[in-house]
Amino acid sequence: MTDAIRIRIVADQIEQLFQSLIKRDYAIFGPTVRDGAIIYDRIEDTSDLPRGVTDRQEAGKYSLASRPDQALFGYAIGPHSWKKYFHPARVKLFGASTDNGVFRILQEPTPPRQPTALLGVRACELAAIAIQDKVLLDGPYADEIYRDRRKEAFLIAMQCTESADTCFCSSMGTGPAVPVVAADITLTEIADNGNHWFLAEAGTPRGGEVLLELEHQPAGEADCLQVSTAVAAAGLQQKRRLDTTGLREALQDSFDHPHWDEVAKRCLDCANCTMVCPTCFCTDIEDVSDVSGDHAERWRRWDSCFTTSFSYIHGGSVRSSPKARYRQWITHKLSSWVDQFGTSGCVGCGRCITWCPAGIDITEEAQAIRGTVNHGNT
């Protein structure tokens, strides 16, 4: 039933979408401009959206620019990924205290969480959420923190009609088109020739209920054709690609490849690539106490395979060099991840390329390895 709900709404009616979600008690998170970037944060209405703003991305470079139109979603992606709402960067696990020599574990009651609506989720980001679902929900040890934040989320996808220079989702099969059933609502924005409108499609019953509350017109065949053409054009714009044919095996056979030394000369071990990656999920446990020592807390925080302490065991770090740490990251992401979870750990969003200070390009590094270790490359 829901796949038949496909409507056309004008840009001004996006405000009605906000009101419909607020009426259902959703806290809305979406794109907004802050500190020279388009980030994801709590938003209240369309005035918070990056109207008329686009991004310019290259390897190691990011900047904002004005658009000639008033597109609300006329950008690619920024430094944030949606995983921070489901798999938070830092979360308190419990506290402990001593009182007159008595030690107590303090399990603070979890307050009721307001359900969240995520607005503007790109196709590659939906693929990343699906990967994190597989890692943190579908395994034998589901993460309760992730599960509690994920279960009520209302996803509003936004199909891309333009690609950034660093995008390569089309070669990973994760975009730019959104499978309709992957989100509650899928939007596509068209802003050209003075016309500014959205095609809206429902992927779930609750998405259909929201759409039918908006002022709208039925979407015609011409509307759907214009949208599909624009989305296809975004895929054709992409200059980068990652050929995954035989890549898993090539990386497994390249432990001593001389190219690892070359990339290590450039890598700064800053961990930016893992922090901006929408699928990386590694964490560490941190214990902190007050000055008196009477109160302590245990926190879980994001960690990275680029930190020297990440692989530390008795006697030292297993991966003590930048070469070993970069090799671990890319080999896990593109090879052993497939063995663990049945899919690549990369969705082609290009964030690791844009936000690497040295401009290291994962597509180039993978090709440099596979260029001399041939497993199915043509």
63: CB partners within 8 A, 6+ apart: 36, 55, 56
pLDDT value at position 292? 85
3-class secondary-structure state, position 102: strand
pLDDT band at 311 (very low <50, low <70, confident <90, very high): confident
**Residue 375, pLDDT above cutoff 70:** no
**Per-residue pLDDT band at 376 (split at 50, 70, 90):** very low
Find out whether 144 and 151 touch, Cβ atoms under 8 Å.
Answer: no
Residues pairing with 58 in the sheet:
61
Between 100 and 322, whose confidence is greater?
A: 322
Residue scoring higher pLDDT (123 or 320): 123
pLDDT at 257: 92
Q: Are 328 and 305 in contact (CB under 8 A)?
A: yes
The span from the CA of 242 to the CA of 349, in Å, is: 11
Distance CA 186, CA 66 (A): 25
Predicted model pTM: 0.92
**Residue predicted with more confidence, 319 or 344:** 344
Share of the chain above pLDDT 70, in %: 97
The tokens describing 68, both together, are: 């000639």
C-alpha dihedral (351, 30, 63, 80), degrees to nearest 10: -30
Closest CA to 294 of 108, 102, 109, 107: 102
* pLDDT(184) > 60: yes
Question: For residue 196, what pLDDT is reported?
Answer: 94
> In the predicted model, what is the mean pLDDT of residues 259-268?
94
pLDDT over threshold 50, residue 2: no
Q: Across residues 161-178, what is the average pLDDT?
A: 96
- What confidence tier does 372 reach under pLDDT thresholds 50, 70, 90? low
pLDDT at 86 exceeding the cut of 90: yes
305 vs 192: which has the higher pLDDT: 305
Q: Decide if pLDDT at 374 tops 60.
A: no
Nearest one of 328, 337, 330, 335 to 362, comparing CA atoms: 330
The pLDDT tens digits of the residues spanning 206-253 come to: 999 999 999 999 999 999 999 999 999 999 999 999 999 999 999 999
Mean of the per-residue pLDDT values for the chain? 92
* DSSP bridge partners of 57: 62
Strands 185-192 and 154-158, how do they pair? parallel
